[in-house]
Amino acid sequence: MKRLLVLFLATMMLLVTACSKPSEPAKNTEPSQTSDPNAAEQKISEKPIEVSWFFMSNTPYTGDEEIFKTIQKYTNIKIKPISVARADVTQKLNTVLASGSLPDLITLSRDNADRYGPQGAFLDLTPYMEAGKLDNYKAMLEKYPPAMDLTRSPNGKYYGFPRIYDVPYRADEVMLGRTDIFAKNNLSTKFETFDDLYNTLVQLKKLYPDSYPYFVRWGTPHLIGNQAYFRGTSTSFYLEPDQQKYLFGPESQAYKDTLVYLNKLYSEGLLNPNFATITDEEWNELLATNKGFVTFDYPQVGDEIVQQMGSKIPQGFEFTAMLQPAYNDKRVGTGVLSGYLGSYKVISNQTKYKDELVNFLNWMYSPQGIDAMQFGIEGESYQKNTDGTVKFLKDFQTPATPNGTIKNAGLNNQDLFTVVNQAAINTFELNGAAMKKSVQFLEENKGFGKPVFDAKFSDTNEKKEYTDLKTAIDTYVEEASVNVIIGKKSIDTWDSEVISQVKKLGSDRALELINKAYDETFKK
Amino acid sequence: MKKSPYRIKEPLGDRVFLSVVYVILAIVVLAMLYPFVYVVSVSISDPAEVIAGKVTFFPKGFDLGAFKTMINHPIFFTAYKNTIVYTALGTFFTLFFTAITAYPLSKDKFQMRSFLSKVYLITMFFGGGMIPTYLAYKSLGILDTIWVMVLPGALSAWNIILMRSFFRNIPESLSESAYIDGATDPQILIKIILPLSKPIMATIGLFTAVGIWNGYFNALLYLNDTEKYPLQMILRSILVAATFNPSEKDAYTALNHSATESLKMASIVITTLPIMCIYPFLQKYFVKGLMVGSIKG
């Protein structure tokens, strides 16, 4: 019996040692330190190499997907993906950073890049830029001026490769509504004023008595935030585009008008009373059962809901953009994405393949790399038609082909790609009927706004002080605002009670801090 | 209840009391069963009916699309296999190591007994913390391997104490007579003690199996290779809608990939059903095993 035990233990030890070997990072080739920075034409990687890439993804990637085949084909780099679900990404990233065993390539937020870069965790890109090895990257950052300032870390160096929207604009949240119901009842979808919107909602309530015509999801800040935004103000500190200066929204008359307006909608049953707690499921249900008609949301939802509902969709259902009302004769454009976005890729300082990865990321900003990350291998995954449109040669699932059999190709995945070009927007977004109609409508009516770039703090203590102040103030203002909307508190006491309390909480100091940061970011 | 001609009629008071008890128990049963029924109903209903909020108890429309989507998930079968392997291996290691540790600790003649017991006890109250543990696994070379899923949890002080108490309740005379017949300690453990310890083995085995089956945290921290992910990682990525912040620029994509209700429920059904099926078979040991040490004989 003893012998049996010994034998068993011995086998097990063997197994342990045998199986732990593959955990070592793959070392296929020698570290190539030989590449000459002055060489005119550099290959992305001379030899085939394998690197690990940490990124966020709710569907796990195995490394066999189209996108990774594409990368290998063009760059000679095999990617071993470490994909972590969105809910867990912070925890895993923190463990990985704290333990000091970093993957070769990481997709993370600007904050993390700025914090750990200067500590030496990530590769400093500045010498590579100076040596001209990051020409595509530099050209792209210079094309969108705030990008250079925003990418630079507080210590004056560059660590991250930001995501760039290389398009005039990509639609973000817009005013959306049941345009089919509006057409049926001869109602205009172009609101001149907020009173105009109010009158329309009253009419809808008469036509559909058991509905709450105005319904917004994602909680109170989202409800008030949109109404305030289109009156040119905000629920908190915001950048005033004309003065190029931060102001505190709730102090403004426009914010008070917002609350009075929402209170009116609430008391007359025009606003879904469940606004603070409504879930996505409940919101979908209201939309699908003709109990909600006007909202602010992402225009892509118009196509998604149709797809989800399938044959059960109400006849003629259409959920597309409307023109947001003007306030004091000024119509604020909807938020758009263009140029810089604060999602970064960084290279670990421990990687064996620094030069290769620098080349790789530079490639992602080149025309070939941009198309490859969006559409795959030219001639194999897709082909470009003469009019510039993209035709896929494989059965990928895209908004235009929702029943495609290849679902997880990794193309157009925002945690993988670095640049979005117009062809990608056209292919992946504007192919849905509702989305196409929404964008066209807003374009015709000049509904789109301009991108806004917020200040970035260079001093961590000041940043913390500002964040703490802002959190306390925002929480207090939100509670007070809800009380006004549901009629528990009169707007007359707003200035004397709420604003004076906000001052006590330190709003002036917060303004001073954020304005200083803004000047430091852009007016150096 | 079987009607018998000789049945003594219960007094009215008892009958009223029992009826009340039955009514209350029925309500409790309903409250406990309802979530399960709802999950199953939603998972096999037509997604459009679910969006319209029409499914409350019984399924509406019949659609197995959600299950098809689950099965077509790129790593579904790999993950299922992984979970089964981790659960089987992990449970085996736990029982094996716990038994060979608990046995000497249950013997009075073992001199290091009280010292070792104290050493094990310390680990119940003090842990290394997340990062040091991570670093320890890293230097052991078990990160991103199957071993990190089955070995670290194999020996827990709690299980050792449970099993040791159970072993101690087995009359010492059994072992002594075996000694006289020339049996060695391993023989006594395998041929005498273990066959008498089915309840505790079943209890610890079930606890461990359920724990490993439902666990995602170790996989999240210590595994990088998607091919090694257990099923719970898929379940989690489908179920836990990310903290969604609409004020974040480009937040739309977080929403874009959120799963439908039917898919969420189908994933729950698929992942929890097998482990639920084990319960009834082990239940008879369960009560006995759980009461270990509650009565000093």
Cβ separation of A337 and B249 shorter than 8 Å?
Answer: yes
Distance to chain B for A96, nearest Cα, Å: 8
Q: How far apart are alpha carbons A179 and A333 in whole angstroms?
A: 20
Token pair of A156, please? 């004056």
CB A254 within 8 A of CB A232: yes
Kindly report the length of chain A.
524
Give the sheet arrangement for strand A319-321, strand by strand. A294-297, A174-178, A319-321
Work out the minimum CA distance from B143 to partner chain A, whole angstroms: 6
DSSP element (H, E) containing A478: helix A460-485
Q: Which residue has the higher pLDDT, A171 or A12?
A: A171
Q: How far does Cα A181 stand from its chain's mean position?
A: 31
What integer pLDDT is reported at residue B251 of this predicted model?
A: 60
Determine contact, residues B153/B211, Cβ cutoff 8 Å. Answer: yes
Dist. CA A428–CA A413, nearest whole Å: 11
d(CA A283, CA B51): 9
Distance between A127 CA and the closest CA of chain B, angstroms: 31
Could B51 and A309 be called an inter-chain contact, meaning their C-beta atoms sit closer than 8 Å?
yes
Q: Is A489 helix (H, G, I), strand (E, B) or coil?
A: coil
pLDDT in tens, A374-420: 999 999 999 999 888 899 999 988 777 777 888 888 888 888 999 99
In this complex, which of A24, A60, A298 lies closest to B255 when CB atoms are compared? A298
Which residues on B lie below 8 Å from A63 (Cβ)?
Answer: 226
Query: Above 70 in pLDDT, residue A149?
Result: yes
ipTM field: 0.77
Answer whether A224's CB lies under 8 Å from A258's CB.
yes
Contact B48 A308 (CB under 8 A): yes
8 A C-beta contact, residue A376 and residue A409 = yes
Which of B233, B240, B250, B257 is the best residue to mutate to test the A interface, defined by the most A CB atoms within 10 Å of its own CB?
B250
Q: Is the pLDDT of residue A111 over 80?
A: yes
pLDDT by residue (tens digit) across A78-96?
999 998 888 788 889 988 8
Query: In the predicted model, what is the mean pLDDT of residues A438-448?
Result: 94
A284-309 mean pLDDT? 88
Nearest to B131 among A92, A95, A222 (CB): A95
Which residues on B lie below 8 Å from A309 (Cβ)?
Answer: 48, 51
For B52-121, strand residue ranges (E) read none
DSSP string, A94-163: HHHHHHT---SEEEEEHHHHHHHTTTTSB---HHHHHTTTTHHHHHHHHHSTHHHHHHS-TTS----EEE
The whole-number average pLDDT for the span A50-69 is 91
Per-residue pLDDT at A9 exceeds 90: no
Q: Is the dihedral of CA A383, A386, A390, A391 positive or negative?
A: negative
Asked whether the beta carbons of A180 and A433 are under 8 A apart, the reply is no
Instruction: Give pLDDT tens digits for A261-274.
Output: 999 999 999 999 98
pLDDT of residue A452: 86
In whole angstroms, give the CA distance from residue A33 to residue A44: 14
Strand stretches in chain B, DSSP E? none
Calculate how close chain A gets to B79, using CA atoms only, in Å: 11
Interface probe, candidates B97, B220, B235, chain A, greatest A C-beta count within 10 A: B220
- Cα gap A136→A363, rounded to integer Å: 7
Kindly state the average pLDDT of the residues A202-222.
Answer: 93
Q: What residues of B are in contact with residue A407 (Cβ under 8 Å)?
A: 72, 74
| Nearest CA-CA distance, residue B97 and chain A, Å | 11
Which DSSP letter does residue A79 get?
E
- Nearest CB to B145; choose among A20, A309, A337: A20
A107-121, B3-17, B33-47: which range is least confident on average?
B3-17
Mean pLDDT over all residues of chain A?
88
Residue contact B224–A304, C-beta within 8 A: no
CB atoms within 10 A of CB B110: 13
**% of chain A surpassing 90 pLDDT:** 64
Average per-residue pLDDT for chain B: 85
> In this predicted model, what pLDDT tens digit does every residue of B51-68 receive, in sequence order?
777 888 888 888 888 888
Instruction: Supply the pLDDT for residue B292.
Output: 57
Instruction: Please name the member of B226, B250, B252 whose beta carbon is closest to the beta carbon of A341.
Output: B250
The reply to whether residue B234 touches residue A86, judged by beta carbons under 8 angstroms, is no
Residue labelled with tokens 């908004």: A399
* pLDDT of amino acid B95: 96
Grade residue A428 by pLDDT with cuts at 50, 70 and 90.
confident
Tell if the CB–CB gap between A23 and B144 is shorter than 8 Å.
yes
Contact list in B for residue A429 (CB cut-off 8 A) is none
Question: Which H or E element spans position A337?
Answer: strand A336-347
DSSP H helices, A376-459, are: 422-428, 433-444
Coarse DSSP helix, strand, coil percentages of chain A, rounded to the nearest 5 percent: 45, 15, 40
Give pLDDT tens digits for B235-267.
Answer: 887 777 555 566 566 666 655 455 677 888 888
For A157-166, what is each residue's pLDDT tens digit? 999 999 999 9
The rounded distance, in Å, linking the Cα atoms of B17 and B33 is 24
Instruction: Provide the residue count of chain B.
Output: 297
pLDDT in tens, B171-213: 888 899 999 999 999 999 999 999 989 888 988 998 899 899 9
Average of pLDDT values for B4-32?
Answer: 88
The arithmetic mean of pLDDT across residues A195-203, rounded, is: 96
